[in-house]
Structure 1
Amino acid sequence: MVQKQQVYQSHGVTITSLHRNVEVKEFETAQLSCIYQVERDNNARLEWKKIVGNHVSFVYFNGLLMEKYKGRVEMSGSSIRLRDVTREDMATYRCEVAAAGDEVDFAEIDIKLSVLVPPAVPTCKVPSSAMSGSRVVLTCKESDGSPPSDYTWFKDNKRLLERPAKDLAYINTSYTVNQKTGVLTFNPVKKTNSGSYHCEAKNKAGGPKECSAQYMQINDLDVGAIVITVIIIASVLSLCGFGMYYAHRKGYLGNSRPSKGKGTNHTTVPPVKEDFKHTKSFII
């Protein structure tokens, strides 16, 4: 005889939410849903908390909204409506219910609120010129968008792919694009990379916003001119050295030590005149 297994199920407070991840545009209204049921305790305690990192603060406590939320937050049963949301409201909101008379006397649920903000016009940095064969970095960045923006670079109004090696049209290129950071890197840069560059930023809240196009000129390294310049400099230095040597041999530069030969001036100190007048002779 097979004995049936008995399953024991505890009863108590339970919580559900219509949406665990809420996304709204800035300055719109967010609905944070919290629906709870209790077994028999009709005096359950409801609390709402805002959690940002390790910081926890109350939104609704002891039957009252906190002062900073009055006029902007309203209770809808056990749920809350948050009007005119801003980026400062982005957080995890926790709904907690305690029912001391129930077998399971506590339950909680977390709801993540994301506020969508369109990007601002990005700041682009494009070098005006560079030498072919060098490593060149172009940057594009904006800080207002939420979530963070994705970036797209354009050369002469033609989009640069993030992975150019997969497109035959870009098979001979040597650049990489990071759509998350907005960094465009040429390594090495070539003369054919000369052109007008601009960048666009966009996210799910809006966009794209673009910076003004800037021209980048790539110049080839003129080896012949460098060789000629080196030869000219070496020739000038040789002529200067020969001229110094010739001038030294001819004595045009002067002597470092005084000579004892002709042309040496001696200062003669006249002897001191002593007049002795002997008025008398002493004969011993």
Structure 2
Amino acid sequence: MAVRRVSGVLLLLHGCVVLAVELSTVNPNPEVQEFQRVELSCIIKNSNTNEPRIEWKKIRNEETSYVYFDNTIQGDLRNRAEIQSQSSLVIFNASRTDNGKYRCEVAAVEDQKKFAEIIISLTVRVKPVTPQCQVPKSVPVGKSAVLHCRENEGYPSSVYKWYRNSDALPDDSKTNPKFLNSSFTVDAHTGTLAFSTINKGDMGQYYCIATNSAGSARCEAQLLEVYDLNIAGIVGGILVVVVVLVLITVGICCAYRKGYFANNSRGGGLSYKNPDKQDGVNYLRSSDEGDFRHKSSFII
């Protein structure tokens, strides 16, 4: 009786082992250049059948979608991928949209509840494009200045390096004796080169290089000029303008006083004035004859 029980337990354990599925992979984190071939290996080490159920799913931004289901490639990988070596997924023309995690699921046909899975993280490297660089044309001595460098195509995200006249700039000017006279900092992740107080020694040709694991790209060099601020000239110019305005104002006032801007009652500019009346003479005016005079002794 005991022998039969032991045999039954051994048979049950054997069945569990047979139904179990074990997977492995050559590379759980493959990386590939964009437009190249990549294999996501999913190797079946143990299974009770030569035709297990195989499925591939993609996990990205917390969303899961089928890549291989019912013996057919699904989604945007259709015509770009296939299953090789029984269960491995091969992508022939990798795209930046293929970045993400892929889950290989293999189940024994006899018992679909007995399955194994393995997750592979795929990184498709994209070379940076030419970054957009913004360099001010001229800055006065003693002022602040900010230079920008950015590109948005590379994957993984690019890091940035600034150069002046072919000399690589450190992240902080105070860390390099060659740039102690400068006062700048570089943010390698945002591509920003910031001068707190610029001086004549900072003048030169500036360019930036964007780099990631897929390659690098640089922008064209641009000249940054640094000029002295002529305070005396500015003050002198302001004084000249003030003097000119004062002279114009004085001239206008004098013209008003002399009557050059007075309104004239007649077009000729000459004022009409009646002749002085003599004492003892009475003047009469008619509409036809104008003025005429008579003496007080005139008798009608």
Identify the residue that residue 169 of structure 1 maps to in structure 2: 178
CA distance in 1, matches of 2:77, 2:254: 93
Structure 2 residue runs of 5 or longer lacking an equivalent are 1-15, 275-284, 289-300
CA distance in 2, matches of 1:97, 1:16: 11
Contact 1:137 1:186 in 2 (8 A): yes
Report the secondary structure of 2:261's partner residue: coil
What amino acid is the match of 1:24? V
Which of 61, 65, 84 aligns to 2:93? It is 84
The answer to whether structure 1 residue 234 and structure 2 residue 242 are counterparts is yes
CA distance in 2, matches of 1:160, 1:270: 103
Deviation at 1:61, TM superposition (A): 0.5
Identify the residue that residue 45 of structure 1 maps to in structure 2: 53
The answer to whether structure 1 residue 180 and structure 2 residue 192 are counterparts is no
RMSD: 3.3
Which of 184, 192, 199 aligns to 1:190? It is 199
Identify the residue that residue 114 of structure 1 maps to in structure 2: 123
Listed one character per residue, the Cα deviations across residues 155-199 of structure 1 (whole Å, up to 9, x for unaligned) are 111111112221222223111112222221212222221111122
User: % of aligned pairs identical?
Assistant: 37
> Which structure shows the higher helix fraction?
2
Which of 44, 47, 68 aligns to 1:60? It is 68
| Structure 1 stretch displaced more, 58-67 or 235-244 | 58-67
Distance 1:155 1:270, change over 3 A: farther
Deviation at 1:65, TM superposition (A): 2.2
Contact 1:13 1:104 in 2 (8 A): no
Structure 1 residue runs of 5 or longer lacking an equivalent are 1-9, 273-284
Report the secondary structure of 2:254's partner residue: helix
Listed one character per residue, the Cα deviations across residues 69-99 of structure 1 (whole Å, up to 9, x for unaligned) are 4543221222211112122222221222345
Distance 1:100 1:214, change over 3 A: same
Which of 34, 44, 54 aligns to 1:26? It is 34
User: Highest Rg: 1 or 2?
Assistant: 2
The answer to whether structure 1 residue 95 and structure 2 residue 104 are counterparts is yes
CA distance in 1, matches of 2:234, 2:203: 23
Identify the residue that residue 291 of structure 2 maps to in structure 1: none
Q: TM-score, normalised by structure 1?
A: 0.77
Report the secondary structure of 2:238's partner residue: helix
Contact 1:34 1:95 in 2 (8 A): yes
Distance 1:256 1:185, change over 3 A: farther
Deviation at 1:68, TM superposition (A): 4.9
Distance 1:100 1:238, change over 3 A: same
Deviation at 1:145, TM superposition (A): 2.4
CA distance in 1, matches of 2:175, 2:190: 21
Which of 206, 218, 221 aligns to 2:215? It is 206
Listed one character per residue, the Cα deviations across residues 12-56 of structure 1 (whole Å, up to 9, x for unaligned) are 545433322110112221111223466768775321112332443
